[in-house]
Amino acid sequence: MTAHRRDADEKESRSANGADWDRYADEYQATHGEFLGDVGFLWGPEGLTEAEAGILGDVRDRDVLEVGSGAGQCSRWIRSQGGRAFGLDLSHRQLQHSRRIDEMSGVTVPSVRGTATHLPFADDSFDIVFSSFGALQFVADIDRAVAETARVLRPGGRYAFSITHPTRWMFPDDPTTEGLTASQSYWDRTPYVEVDDETGTTSYVEHHRTLGDWVALLAGHGFRLTTLLEPEWPADHERLWGGWSRERGVLTPGTAIFGSDLWSRVD
Ligand SMILES: C[S@@+](CC[C@H](N)C(=O)[O-])C[C@H]1O[C@@H](n2cnc3c(N)ncnc32)[C@H](O)[C@@H]1O
């Protein structure tokens, strides 16, 4: 595999990342499934739960869509709290894990295969749309993804999502002290692209937006930003998750969680 910094459009990003999540899903669920909890809502590797954070508000009797739902752990927690949560994910294999856990846990999340930029739902279908590290960093056409979210939300609906904290883009994705020295520009939005050396195909794409980009995106689609949480590394938390570790986590934020309300429809 060779890593590049170069442009990657929506089509290339989607076909690379769908296949990547299909390949990675078994290992991902084996490594992180227990920490996530079959019926559990974590906002990120720091372990902050929705029960603690309350970013979505009361979910009881609400119609809820999770974009990039993976194995549906968060949506299953919402179902356990009385919300009608539905999942959408690009990866067939992730959705197979979701079905497996539905059956094991007895809490079913009706889910569909799809992509964040083309939500297969009518206008005004949901009270809440959210993503916990789902989809957004893998999407090139983020403007379209946020517009789709606004379209399927009812007026006044809630939109919340967690992503890798944008400041992490400056650092190598390394959980040790090596990952604490800034080596590239925070403002360089050129995507990170991995190419399979044997086949020449693009195997992974990640996109970056600054904090200011996210504020402009939300405001530009009629959302009022109410929350930006940057969870601190908990005192008793030793878990390593990719580039997230205690070593880095006590010094720099690893996760950003945005919460917003749809206050006007922008066409
Ligand atoms: C890190 S997982 C997050 C899932 C779940 N919240 C969790 O914590 O395990 C990212 C998910 O986003 C999905 N994804 C990637 N690109 C997507 C897209 N364009 N549309 C919808 N889902 C996408 C992946 O298939 C994967 O299941």
Question: Do 65 and 88 contact (CB within 8 A), yes or no?
Answer: yes
Cα of 70 from ligand 1 centre, angstroms: 5
Residue 84 pLDDT class (50, 70, 90 cuts) = very high
Q: What is the residue with the minimal CA distance to atom 23 of ligand 1?
A: 135
Cα of 246 from ligand 1 centre, angstroms: 24
Is the pLDDT confidence value at 10 over 90?
yes
Q: What is the residue with the minimal CA distance to atom 19 of ligand 1?
A: 115
**Over residues 18-44, mean pLDDT:** 98
pLDDT at 264: 86
> Which phi-psi region, left, alpha or beta, contains residue 108 (left: φ > 0; alpha: ψ -120 to 50)?
beta
Cα of 18 from ligand 1 centre, angstroms: 9
Average pLDDT taken over every residue of the chain: 97
Q: What is the residue with the minimal CA distance to atom 20 of ligand 1?
A: 115
Tokens 């590797």: give the residue: 45
**Over residues 241-251, mean pLDDT:** 97
User: What digits encode the pLDDT tens for the residues 121-177?
Assistant: 999 999 999 999 999 999 999 999 999 999 999 999 999 999 999 999 999 999 999
CB-based contacts of 241-244 (< 8 A; 24+ apart in sequence)? 241/32, 241/35, 241/45, 242/45, 242/173, 242/175, 243/168, 243/171, 243/172, 243/173, 243/174, 243/175, 243/179, 244/44, 244/45, 244/46, 244/175
User: Ligand 1 site: residues with CB under 6 angstroms?
Assistant: 14, 17, 21, 36, 67-68, 70, 74, 89-91, 94, 115-116, 132-135, 138-139
Q: What is the residue with the minimal CA distance to atom 15 of ligand 1?
A: 135
Is the pLDDT confidence value at 267 over 90?
no
pLDDT at 265: 79
Cα of 240 from ligand 1 centre, angstroms: 20
Cα of 145 from ligand 1 centre, angstroms: 13
Cα of 48 from ligand 1 centre, angstroms: 18
Residue 266 pLDDT class (50, 70, 90 cuts) = confident
pLDDT at 117: 98
CA distances from 241 to 30, 90, 166, 192 (A): 13, 22, 17, 19
Q: For a pLDDT cut of 90, what percent of the chain falls above it?
A: 99
Q: What is the residue with the minimal CA distance to atom 6 of ligand 1?
A: 132
CATH number of 11-167+208-262: 3.40.50.150
**Over residues 61-85, mean pLDDT:** 98
**Over residues 214-235, mean pLDDT:** 98
Question: Do 85 and 78 contact (CB within 8 A), yes or no?
Answer: yes
